[in-house]
Structure 1
Amino acid sequence: MGLEDQQEEIEVLESIFPDELTKTEDNEFRIAIKLDLPDDVIEATKPDDWDPEDEYEAPVMILSVKYPEDYPDKEPNLDLSPPPQQHEQHPLFSVADDKDELLAGLTETIEENLGMAMVFTIVSALKDAAEQLIITRHEAIVKEKEDAAREAEREENKKFHGSAVTPESFVKWQTAFLQEMADVRQREEEQAAAELAKKVRGGGGPGGVVGKDGTRLTGRQLWEQGLAGKVDEDADDDDDDSVPTGDVQKLKIDS
């Protein structure tokens, strides 16, 4: 393709990009490539002080093209730069930082189109690659936030669900529970025996019972002779001061 054919391609590009293409030399020009992003990406990347009445400015990169003499049999010289009027860098895209990756990604496209006018195809490939780069970064941030939220929810649920039960943990719990119940029963039996012994040891005092020979009856003897209930009733009566304690103290048991 000679100079005439190169100029013809530039004219076609000017009709496609009337506001975006700026010719600098007969064989050089620049094209402003405006990126189109999904609404969720736009909303997520707006600054905190965003005024709803302001017009959203899509990210833009400038593709500089210079034809070598034997273009299109040889690839064009390409470069990327941010627009000169750009005030703020997009939070998920930087032309300076991403330029090498984007230009390297054009290798296959250029090789497939050698011998043909390829600038329009190059512009389309660059636009798609830059947009996908931003979308991928946005999706990674969303996933990270979702993972963090799920992990926080799992930690919160642990407070209510406790530890998972396994055969080993159940056996350990069961052993401890049965031992605790045995200890409780033993304490209750010891307490009941102590209370009964206290009543029996009362002897000549309230609740005490002596036999015919003047000795105090043991708890076992009280049960064998059917007097355990009598002791309890007398003890309760003593608490109410309704039965003279002297009568109980003089009680003699016939064998």
Structure 2
Amino acid sequence: MTDYVEEQRNELEAIESIYPDSFTVLSDDPASFTITVTSDAGENGEIVEATLKFTYIEKYPDEPPLWEIHSQENLEDSDVEDILTLLQQQAEENLGMVMIFTLVTAVQEKLNEIVDLMKNRREEEKRRKEEEAEEAEKVLFQGTVVTIENFLLWKARFELEVTELRKRRQKEEEQGGKLKLTGKQLFETDHNLDTSDIQFLEEAGNNVEVDESLFQDIEDLDLDEDDPDFDPLEMGSDED
């Protein structure tokens, strides 16, 4: 007949000597304890860690102990699930034998694998972000695809803006706030402006006074206007 109490007590003594810094007793009846398992350092010094809680049941080791992940560091949810599955597999394979050391060793190896995978995860995450950035850039370059729905929405907004603009202009005109016209616009709207300007010049010309003394000696000047070298400006300068 198996002495379960004796086997459990002997295993506890062995486990405490193997893991002196990470072994902690939580209770004696039933025997419950934790062992903290830490991975080796990764490429960039990163580590992952899991604190395993074990509780003996009456017929251990013929029946598996109870376990749970008491706490963890840097593990993703999928990693936790993988560790729990691993413990279940190892326990089934080692029924009838004390197995805590075997279970802890399996978890230790699993944590080291996870650290090795962290590099691949970082690279995968980087690649994913780059792809997302490229897709966002493509969307920005291509612009918004025109559909019937967004075209009708744009058309409704455009017509509303035009209506508001017309109302505002009409209100300004009613209040006497017409916009000032340029000279060209004035000419185009009132064709009498050209004839009125000519009329003004004619009326002004009739009232211009001329000083005839300025032209008294003009007949005495020897002007040869047929001379190709004739330059009235040059003559004026010679006289000075």
TM-score by length of 1: 0.44
Computing the radius of gyration from Cα coordinates, the structure with the larger value is 2
